[in-house]
Amino acid sequence: MCGIVGYLGRRNAMPIVLEAIKQLEYRGYDSSGVAWHSDGKVLLHKKKGKVSSLEATSILDEIESNLAVAHTRWATHGTPSDVNAHPHTDATSSCAVVHNGIIENYESIRQMLMKRGIRFETETDSEVIPQLIGYLYKGNFLRAVQRALPLLQGAFAIAIIHKNHPGEIICVAKECPLAIGLGQNEMFIASDSHAFLKFTRRVIFLRGSELARVTENGVQCFDGRRLPISKETEDLEHAAVEISKGNFKHFMLKEIYEQPQTIQNAYLSRFSEQYGTAILDEISLSDEELLKIQRIVILACGSSYHVGLLAAYMLEEKARIPVEVEISSELRYKNPIVLDNTLVIAISQSGETADTLAAMRELKEKGAKIIGICNVQGSTLAREVDSCLFLRAGPEIGVATTKAFTSQLIVISLLTLRLARMRQMSQQEGRHYLQALIQLPQQLYSILARVNDIRELAKKFAHYENFFYLARRFMFPIALEGALKLKEIAYVNANGYPAGEMKHGPIALINPNCLSILLFPDQDEVTFTKMINNAMEIKARGGVIFAVAVEGTKDIEKIADALFFIPRTKDIFLPILSTVVVQLLAYFIADLRGAEVDQPRNLAKSVTVE
């Protein structure tokens, strides 16, 4: 999940790589560091903490070098510290490496090198990479790296520099993303092409076990067998975006407020109100192939998994297609069965989620057709699926997803409509579905207009240490998402449950010091009365209730200790409105508790390692 960058060219590399790793800090912020060429040497500077801690040291202001690599870290092996920060070097400080990923057999390599007299300085798995390359180096930099690669097991991306080769960077991508940006007599390397978009949109993506020797004049690429290969240059469509919080205290709050617009972006030009259907030109499957679908498998992790759960309710309810939702990290070890006419939907905001990519590849090998749902053009997922539906949400800086989550729900809603209209949904029903969908941005504005009400409720409940989120049917995945948000950014114990399961164990924990957050459907919906019964069971045991209910719902005031109303819409879209409420509640509780909202401890936004 770390971020790696590199630059070589005519300009001073230092300000360029420092700015680039700030763009990638969402991948990890335990520590950071930079390595550069200077008078025939490779020099390092690295620091525990965020990139700002690295920049605060005046030594970097005086450096002039036209080649550098830099790193921002999410710790896997070894505690966050100055010594464990990247870059790492070999025993003679001849080469330096920045690394994203995990070296699974690092201990056996470490033991082998130690027997040959090589001393290790860190607790990391990453240090074995430069130590191994340094041990194998006999004057040919490229050959030393190529000889080292077959000995390294795991998924990783690396960039390497050597004191004897001041005009080149060698980089490798093995099941981890790495992009090379091509400028005019200058080259850029990054885990995410967004880091160098202000300089160039021409890019080469490495994949598989590919290696590239990068100089300011060009790129030589090789496959895992050391054979030269030709790589196509892609021109990215999206432009660099200036990242700013504006007048907001945190990026997360800004991104919550952006949701009316990002939801609209997700559905614009993707529907026909006249025909009551979705128009998804990005899907390469023919209507005949879509009609043959008999089973859908959804792959996802984290918040995207909650999107998948809601997608299953939608698709089965409206399109009448059986759906299985799989946690990617579990499916990849299940030896899954892929029947004929199975469609796979892989959901990943970043498009680089390691477990989802691995599970997707396994199902693809078994013959499944795959549609991706992703926010990042040029991501690994976007390049490997058969078709990709982009969220159009723009960069999301807060680690805890907000606008990307609701945009995923909109895209899933459109896909549901497309498949449903091809089956049993009438044109009139499709029109009503779209009318409700199009009203969502304005309804979200009405919720955001009452943000002070949610802030006051957060003040009332911020001191609680235990939270239950309870819901049924369409609302249940939002109970899971609300609990996850609170865990992620406020660091408190929160659990989401189907309300009907409360009596099967969790009710034992109900007490006056535990807040139960109940997400109610419309009072005409089949599970409404059941939710009322659950609320009464909580009250009977001294529990405290915060209810999120639809405007016009009667009698909830008599049960709930606190209440927030959301606008009325179709049951299938109520979860989207409820999502914004639980996002705001988590945000304000976290802020009141003094937590680091945008960069919560131990987390990274893009999970590129298993």
DSSP notation for 109-152: HHHHHHHTTPPP--S-STTHHHHHHHHH-SS-HHHHHHHHGGG-
- pLDDT (tens digit, 9 = 90+) per residue, 44-80? 999 898 888 888 776 777 788 999 999 998 788 888 8
Q: Grade residue 28 by pLDDT with cuts at 50, 70 and 90.
A: confident
What pLDDT sits at residue 387? 95
Instruction: Output the average pLDDT for the chain.
Output: 91
Label residue 241 by pLDDT band (50, 70, 90): low
- If one compares 454 and 24, the residue with the highest pLDDT of the two is 454
What would the mean pLDDT of 241-258 be, rounded to a whole number?
86
Report d(CA 150, CA 225) in Å as an integer: 9
% of the chain residues with pLDDT over 90: 70
Percent of the chain with pLDDT over 70: 97
Q: Where are the domains of the chain?
A: 3-235, 245-447, 450-610
Query: How many CB atoms are closer than 10 A to CB 14?
Result: 21
Q: What is the pLDDT of residue 589?
A: 97
pLDDT at 242: 59
Same fold across 245-447 and 450-610:
yes
CATH superfamily membership of 245-447: Glucose-6-phosphate isomerase like protein; domain 1 (3.40.50.10490)
pLDDT at 179: 92
Q: Is the pLDDT of residue 24 over 90?
A: no
CB 386 within 8 A of CB 371: yes
Q: Which of 59-73, 320-334, 347-361, 574-588 has the highest mean pLDDT?
A: 574-588
Annotation marks residue 163 as catalytic = no
265 conformational bin, left if phi > 0, alpha if psi -120 to 50, beta if neither: alpha
pTM, to two decimals: 0.84
Average the pLDDT over each of 256-260, 333-337, 353-357, 499-503 and give the range with the smallest value. Answer: 333-337
pLDDT tens digits for range 132-153: 999 999 999 999 999 999 999 9
Question: Is pLDDT of 240 > 60?
Answer: no
Catalytic residue among 403, 485, 487, 605: 605
Comparing 113-122, 190-199, 229-238, 515-524, which segment has the lowest mean pLDDT?
A: 229-238
169: its two tokens: 């960077």
Predicted confidence band of residue 216 (pLDDT cuts 50, 70, 90):
confident
- Is the predicted pLDDT of residue 376 greater than 70, yes or no? yes
| Residues 322-335 as b or e (16 or more Cβ within 10 Å = b) | ebebbbbbebbeee
What are the pLDDT digits (tens) for 262-318? 999 999 999 999 999 999 999 999 999 999 999 999 999 999 999 999 999 999 999
User: What CA–CA distance (Å, rounded) separates 400 from 606?
Assistant: 11
Q: Which residue has the higher pLDDT, 240 or 477?
A: 477
Say whether domain 450-610 belongs to CATH 3.40.50.10490: yes
pLDDT of residue 610: 61
CA distance 114 to 539: 64
Provide the pLDDT for residue 509. 86
Please give the distance of CA 304 from its chain centroid, rounded to a whole number.
8
Which residue of the set 2, 95, 171, 301 is catalytic?
Answer: 2
- With a cut of 80, say whether residue 602 has pLDDT above it: no
In the DSSP assignment, the letter for residue 348 is -
CATH superfamily to which 3-235 belongs: Aminohydrolase, N-terminal nucleophile (Ntn) domain (3.60.20.10)
**Is 2 tagged catalytic?**
yes
Q: Is 541 exposed, middle or buried (0-12, 13-18, 19+ CB in 10 A)?
A: middle
pLDDT at 1: 67
For residues 26 and 529, the model is more confident at 529
| Residue 137 burial (CB count, 10 A) | 21
Is 474 or 235 the better-scoring residue by pLDDT?
474
